[in-house]
Amino acid sequence: MTLLSMECAVCGVSAPLTCTRCRLVRYCNGEHQKQHWPKHKRCCKPFREEQDPALGRYLAATQDIQAKQIIFVEEPLVVGPKWFLTEGEKSATIVPCVGCFTPCRLGKHQCRNCHWPVCSVGCAHESLECSILSLGNAPGAKSDVRGQHDYFRHDALLVLKCLLLQRSQPERWKALLEMQSHEEERLGTELQLEAEQRIVSYLQQRFLRRLKSNTNKQNVLSDYEPELLHRLCGIIETNYMVIELATGVELSGLFRQACMMEHACQPNCYFQFDATTHRIAVRAGCDIKKGDHLKITYTNILWGTQMRQHHLRMTKHFSCRCPRCEDPTEYGSYVSAMRCLGDVSKTCDGLQLPVEPLNEQTQWKCDTCPMLVDAAYVTEVQTHMTEEVERLLAGSPTASEVELLLARLSQLLHPNHFHMFNLKHTLIQLYGHEPGLELVTLTDLQLGRKLRLCEELRNVCHRLDPHSIKLAIYVSVILIEIAHTLEEKARRLPAEAKLQLELAQSHLQQAEEVLEKVQDSVAGKKLNDRLQLDQFELDKLMLANNHSQTQTAV
Ligand SMILES: [Zn+2]
Ligand SMILES: [Zn+2]
Ligand SMILES: [Zn+2]
Ligand SMILES: [Zn+2]
Ligand SMILES: [Zn+2]
Ligand SMILES: [Zn+2]
């Protein structure tokens, strides 16, 4: 993906000059730059950094910004391997290349100097990093896999890469240390303990302590004490952005300006990453008004408020106070709402909602009867359900298995509850695709259910993320499944075929537009390929339908 044009914005020839203010447009000469300014000034660096005692530093729009416009492009301070590895990844035999992060097989190729895994003999990595890594005693390529995993810890490399900036890029080092680390809050927490074992003592024992005794390398770094390493861990955890490459590889990045963007559970910006230059482009996800803060989301917006808050407190050390978090109904989506069970004497069909959504200990109150329940009860029920839903979905369930759990949970949860959402989103992809449940074999009732579920899910997505900035994948799956259902309806009701097919076409077009935002992710690419096929099939269907109608007319 190329983010920026290399040609003059006026005449289109290859251009050596760049607008120094935004560095987003190029010109062949000063004359053309001057000529373009009246037009360009409306989108040149349309934001500024501001400071607020509660928010810290943030970015605010200084003029109206149009949806999709690139707001800024930025070089990274650091880009490195994935920060939190899953258990599977910790023991995988495919690991990221130390030079270019391409997945490579453990034991196949090694850097000649430090012996860390590389993708090919020719792939080099930064010489300073290599010289520090070469202080360790790397296990041989033939040694047992456990020993190799224990030694080659790619997540710790990210901290080393940060640390080396003090020598290689003093400017970036300075900017990095200005970032929030939440050191005090981390002291004595599980996070800090984990960082100690996973990163700090590992880097110290295997590599950094050996610097002291190595006369050639003694002066490479001036500070590499545990306190500094912990501070870097804090900075990474508070600020890092997850970067998903089109190859499926996940990287972590720290960006001075992008990391200043405020978090909100309904974002107005999103970013794209250029895998070659490692630059990031921040784009407007919708029209942004002058004065609005630029916002991205650091958590899963499909979770209910309690879960999002918990996740943000644990990883980013703050409580979100955005309008969604303060609203017990979460923009009328009811994704956290539980059904009221009434009391012994009387049943009730009201809904339990948190009285103070931002308070972890909040009571939940029924909107129809005086019933109150406490946070502990809700948390217990939720945790139990999370396990049940995750267990079911992990085992590739059939539609009827999903229906069963859905029926059981519906006794306790609002139909839009995020657990219900999850199950229903799985269900719409089973009806019409599961062997034995192909579209043509579905009963009219099942087809109707599929369509209704799609509409319900779409409504929830629209409330939580009206511009499909975070939920692009979910929304396009829904739109594609709606289109499939409408095509099948067209087949069943020839009289309505034209109308239904046109409707299906408009849904596929909407899906195409939504997918634009995620075109550089694996899931986005895969869906886009499928969409192309679907559009092709639909075109054929429409042609055939037109043909048969003209035939009947004749
Ligand atoms: Zn020009
Ligand atoms: Zn400019
Ligand atoms: Zn490589
Ligand atoms: Zn090396
Ligand atoms: Zn929020
Ligand atoms: Zn009630």
For residue range 179-214, list pLDDT tens digits in order: 988 888 888 888 899 999 999 999 999 999 988 877
CA–centroid distance, 404 to ligand 6, in Å, is 25
Contacts for 257 with CB less than 8 Å, ≥ 6 apart = 49, 59, 72, 74
* pLDDT (0 to 100) of residue 212: 82
Tell me: pLDDT of 141 over 90: no
Contacts for 203 with CB less than 8 Å, ≥ 6 apart = 156, 159, 160, 224, 229
Q: Which ligand number lies closest to the CA of residue 10? A: 1
Query: What residue type is assigned to position 528 of the chain?
Result: N
Q: Which ligand number lies closest to the CA of residue 25? A: 2
What confidence category does residue 1 fall into, taking pLDDT thresholds of 50, 70 and 90?
very low
Strands (E), 265-416: 269-273, 280-284, 295-296, 338-339, 351-354, 364-366, 372-373
CA–centroid distance, 479 to ligand 5, in Å, is 26
Q: Which ligand number lies closest to the CA of residue 118? A: 3
Q: In the predicted model, what is the mean pLDDT of residues 96-115?
A: 91
CA–centroid distance, 13 to ligand 1, in Å, is 6
CA–centroid distance, 390 to ligand 6, in Å, is 29
Ion ligand 2: residues, CB < 5 A: 19, 21-22, 44
Instruction: Decide the pairing of beta strands 262-263 and 295-296.
Output: parallel
Compute the distance between CA of residue 70 and CA of residue 49 in angstroms, rounded to an integer: 17
CA distances from 73 to 22, 42, 255, 454, 461 (A): 8, 17, 10, 36, 29
* pLDDT (0 to 100) of residue 330: 97
What confidence category does residue 3 fall into, taking pLDDT thresholds of 50, 70 and 90?
low
CA–centroid distance, 515 to ligand 5, in Å, is 25
**Bridge-partner residues for 52, per DSSP?**
56
CATH node for 48-75+256-296: 2.170.270.10
CA–centroid distance, 507 to ligand 2, in Å, is 37
pTM metric for this prediction: 0.86
CA–centroid distance, 345 to ligand 6, in Å, is 12
What confidence category does residue 75 fall into, taking pLDDT thresholds of 50, 70 and 90?
very high
Tell me: pLDDT of 361 over 50: yes
* pLDDT (0 to 100) of residue 464: 98
Q: Which ligand number lies closest to the CA of residue 109? A: 3
Q: Which ligand number lies closest to the CA of residue 23? A: 2
* pLDDT (0 to 100) of residue 248: 78
How many residues in the chain? Answer: 554
CA–centroid distance, 325 to ligand 5, in Å, is 4
What six digits make up the tokens of 254? 């720290």
CB distance 518 to 244 below 8 Å: no
CA–centroid distance, 341 to ligand 6, in Å, is 6
The alpha carbon dihedral of 388, 394, 398, 403 has a sign of positive
pLDDT (tens digit per residue) in 456-515: 999 999 999 999 999 999 999 999 999 999 999 999 999 999 999 999 999 999 999 999
